[in-house]
């Protein structure tokens, strides 16, 4: 499947072919036909290191 990948700490994102993720009985696999374009989500912002998306805010 096609996926946007942020693999390096530098500007830009890359579209790559990646395997379909495995999921279990408590997981959901969602197919997105037209994702929103939110540029700040995909750009590297100093101070955001260490976070793994998706994360839950409590």
Q: Report whether pLDDT(3) > 80.
A: yes
Mean pLDDT of 1-24: 85
Q: Which of 33, 18, 3, 29 is nearest to 42 (CA)?
A: 3
Quick one: what percent of the chain has pLDDT higher than 90?
A: 2
Q: In what helix (H) or strand (E) does residue 42 lie, and over which residues does it extend? A: helix 39-42
CA–CA gap between residue 28 and residue 6 (Å, rounded)? 22
Mean pLDDT of 22-43: 74
* Cis ω for the linkage preceding 31 (within 30 of 0): no
Annotated domain spans of the chain: 1-22+30-44
Residues with Cβ within 8 Å of 11's Cβ and at least 6 positions away in sequence, in order, are 43, 44
Mean pLDDT of 44-52: 56
Provide the CA 26 distance to its chain's centre, in angstroms: 20
């Amino acid at each position: 499947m096609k996926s946007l990948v942020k693999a390096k700490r530098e500007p830009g994102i890359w579209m790559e072919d990646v395997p379909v993720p495995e999921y279990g009985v408590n997981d959901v696999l969602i197919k997105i036909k037209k994702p929103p374009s939110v540029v700040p989500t995909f750009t590297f912002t100093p101070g955001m290191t260490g976070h793994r998306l998706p994360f839950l805010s409590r």
